[in-house]
Homo-oligomer: A and B are copies of this chain.
Amino acid sequence: MATVKKRAKKALKICGMADNDYRNKIVTIAKALLKMDNVVILSHRAPDGDTLGCAFALCRGMRSLGKKANVICADEIPAKYSFMSEGMENQPFEAKHFVSVDIAAPHLLGKLTDEYKDKIEICVDHHLNNSIEAPLKLVDSKAAATGEVIWMLLCAMGAAIDKETASCLFAAISTDTGCFKYSNVTPRTHLIAVELMKYDIDCANINFHLLDEVSQAQLELKKLALTTLEYYCDSQCAVITITEDMIKSTNASPEDLDGISNIPRSVNGVECGITMRPIPDGWKVSVRSSEKVNASELCAKFGGGGHKAAAGCKFSESYEDAKKRLVDAVSEMLSQQ
């Protein structure tokens, strides 16, 4: 199987990488995949473009090699990703092998956790603290999207990449990078995009549906949420609130709530943006911040966590009390600058 090594080397070269250890990992996983048939590819609950794009790209690649493969997910696939599964009806076979893509921890299998968490043989991911237990793991935290790793694996395997497969991988990368916007983007991200564009994929259309398109309910919710926007700490902290009433009156889904949490931080001069939404036993808080406020440290004060620029926590007290504690903590962090 010297060709797997050659193909892996070529893929890495395209990415501007010359890391032998990394190449060997790709070769090991690619060889293991090539030995498998009747494969179930697992994606995470509340699926996004990266987990689904990876799953369907890998599934298409496996099928292009004459193998039987299916994708499964605990939750329904949102309409905006339905293009990925076109022509990919489930194949009837007795499942023999299980591969997880973009799943950081066993519980993220959702309602499929108990059934599959101990069966995973290959885990491919890009989340730093991946806690899946599997004999073969490839966790590349420098990859902006797991889609980057799947592209390298498909190349190493010699799988056919067609327009549909390339579209899945592009969608995976576009989702996790906000279309090449975030700090996780590396030269590799752009270089793989160039390769995928060779398959005549409709990048702009994919980007529009994945990133810009909103539902009527989502826009209605945004309108209502904007009426709650408040500024604190000399307008360096902004708070937006989603209420039960808003969710009921707009019939918004949990997915529809996602776009809101970037709004307060996006205001010029705001160093810390806070979004509060009701949960059964209190309030769920999303924090987005500039370099002046460490969102992870802020949320840790209240038992939460996350990253420096994006984190979350929960409160069981009243809305006003929760907000006051948060804003006071932000104020203190800003004054320590």
Residues in chain A within 8 A of chain B (CB atoms)? 16, 178-183, 185-187, 190-191, 193-194, 197-198, 203-205, 207-208, 211-216, 219, 222-223, 226-227, 229, 231, 235, 262-263, 266-269
Closest 8 CB pairs of A and B: A183-B204, A223-B226, A190-B190, A180-B180, A187-B194, A181-B207, A179-B181, A190-B194
For the complex, give the distance between the alpha carbons of A190 and B180 in Å: 10
Mind listing 15 A-B residue pairs with CB under 8 Å? A16-B194, A179-B179, A179-B180, A181-B212, A187-B197, A191-B191, A212-B262, A212-B266, A214-B266, A215-B268, A216-B231, A219-B263, A219-B266, A223-B223, A223-B227
For the complex, give the distance between the alpha carbons of A180 and B177 in Å: 11
A204 — which chain B residues lie within 8 A by C-beta? 181-183, 185
For the complex, give the distance between the alpha carbons of A49 and B186 in Å: 22
A197 — which chain B residues lie within 8 A by C-beta? 186-187, 190
Closest B residue by C-beta to A262: B212
Closest B residue by C-beta to A198: B187
A215 — which chain B residues lie within 8 A by C-beta? 267-268
A186 — which chain B residues lie within 8 A by C-beta? 197
A219 — which chain B residues lie within 8 A by C-beta? 226, 229, 263, 266-267
B180 and A268: CB pair below 8 A? no
Closest B residue by C-beta to A191: B194
- Find A183's partner among B187, B193, B203 (CB 8 Å cutoff): B203
For the complex, give the distance between the alpha carbons of A185 and B216 in Å: 29
Closest Cβ of chain B: how far from A189's Cβ, in Å? 9
Closest Cβ of chain B: how far from A134's Cβ, in Å? 32
A222 — which chain B residues lie within 8 A by C-beta? 226
Q: A190-B190, A190-B193, A229-B219 are in contact. Are A268 and B212 (CB under 8 A)?
A: no
A263 — which chain B residues lie within 8 A by C-beta? 219
B216 and A268: CB pair below 8 A? yes
Besides A181-B211, A191-B194, 14 other A-B contacts (C-beta < 8 A): A178-B179, A181-B208, A181-B212, A183-B203, A183-B205, A190-B194, A214-B266, A214-B267, A215-B268, A216-B235, A216-B268, A216-B269, A223-B226, A226-B226
For the complex, give the distance between the alpha carbons of A205 and B223 in Å: 27
A213 — which chain B residues lie within 8 A by C-beta? 266-268
For the complex, give the distance between the alpha carbons of A182 and B263 in Å: 22
For the complex, give the distance between the alpha carbons of A216 and B236 in Å: 12
A211 — which chain B residues lie within 8 A by C-beta? 181
Closest Cβ of chain B: how far from A16's Cβ, in Å? 8
Query: A187, A190, A231, A267 — which one has the most chain B CB atoms within 10 A of its CB?
Result: A190
